[in-house]
Amino acid sequence: MSTFFQEFSKGLWKEVPPFRFVLGLCPVLAVTASVSSALGLGCGVIFVLLVANTLVSTFRDFIPNKIRVPVFIVIIASAVTIVELTMEAYFYTLYEVLGIWIPLIVVNCLILGRSEAFARKNPVHLAIADGLGMGLGFTISLCLLASIREIFGAGTWFGLQVMPSAYLGFELLQRPPGAFICLGLLLALMNLVSARLEKPQETC
């Protein structure tokens, strides 16, 4: 049980994507102009990651090593198709907003990276923990970035006004250049924080 929790929690801080592993950056920048779309994509990624990790780990002894990548990709693509059809049927507005980014979950390096680096070498329950943790970490990071961009960029959060109505909004943050700069600063901040956290341990 402790290893289960360990694998789960490493996705939340120690190896949190996309900050520690700079993988799967594209959607991170593209959908974070508003928190609701970030959360929607995050849920899609959690589902795909969970399905892919579970299946890859279940069949890890049967997948020939040479063609493992195509097999992983087909598994991932099937999961993405499920997400795509489900969103189109039940969450149409979200489907419209996310647009091309839903099929693009399939080429998110994070998911293939987890299959390749973790799920194919570990038993099913650990793979599930890893998928959940990584997915959750990814979603939280997305929402964090989206919150910063939406609150300071538009003065709203989940579409609700949070800043005083006189607040004009820092328009740049809502635009593509703002996404790069904001993520760059967040990464720098994270490096600073983890450098501070590690220092006392060295002296002990």
Q: What is the DSSP string of 88-135?
A: HHH-HHHHHHHGGGTGGGGG-HHHHHHHHHTGGGS-HHHHHHHHHHHH
Q: Does 63 bind another protein (CB under 8 A)?
A: no
Q: Are 142 and 38 in contact (CB under 8 A)?
A: yes
CA-to-CA distance for 148 and 151, rounded, in angstroms? 5
Q: How many residues bind another protein (CB under 8 A)?
A: 44
Q: Does 144 bind another protein (CB under 8 A)?
A: no
Q: Are 70 and 159 in contact (CB under 8 A)?
A: no
Chain-centroid distance, C-alpha 159: 21
Of 12, 109, 144, 163, the one binding another protein by CB under 8 A: 109
Q: Does 25 bind another protein (CB under 8 A)?
A: yes
Of 3, 162, 175, 197, the one binding another protein by CB under 8 A: 175
Q: Are 102 and 83 in contact (CB under 8 A)?
A: yes
Joined together, the tokens standing for residue 68 give 């493992």
Quote the least distance from Cβ 29 to another protein, whole Å.
5
Quote the least distance from Cβ 183 to another protein, whole Å.
5
- State the DSSP code for 16: -
Q: Does 169 bind another protein (CB under 8 A)?
A: no
Quote the least distance from Cβ 151 to another protein, whole Å.
19
Q: Give the up-direction half-sphere exposure of residue 136: CA atoms within 13 A in the CB hemisphere.
A: 13
Q: Does 197 bind another protein (CB under 8 A)?
A: no
Stretch that binds another protein, among 126-134, 135-143, 159-167, 170-178 (CB under 8 A): 170-178
Of 5, 14, 59, 70, the one binding another protein by CB under 8 A: 70
Backbone Cα Rg of the chain: 18
Q: Does 117 bind another protein (CB under 8 A)?
A: no
Q: Does 191 bind another protein (CB under 8 A)?
A: yes
- Residues of this chain that interact with another protein (CB under 8 A) are 22-27, 29-30, 69-70, 73-74, 77-78, 80-81, 84-85, 99-100, 103-104, 106-109, 112, 172, 175-181, 183-185, 187-189, 191-192, 195
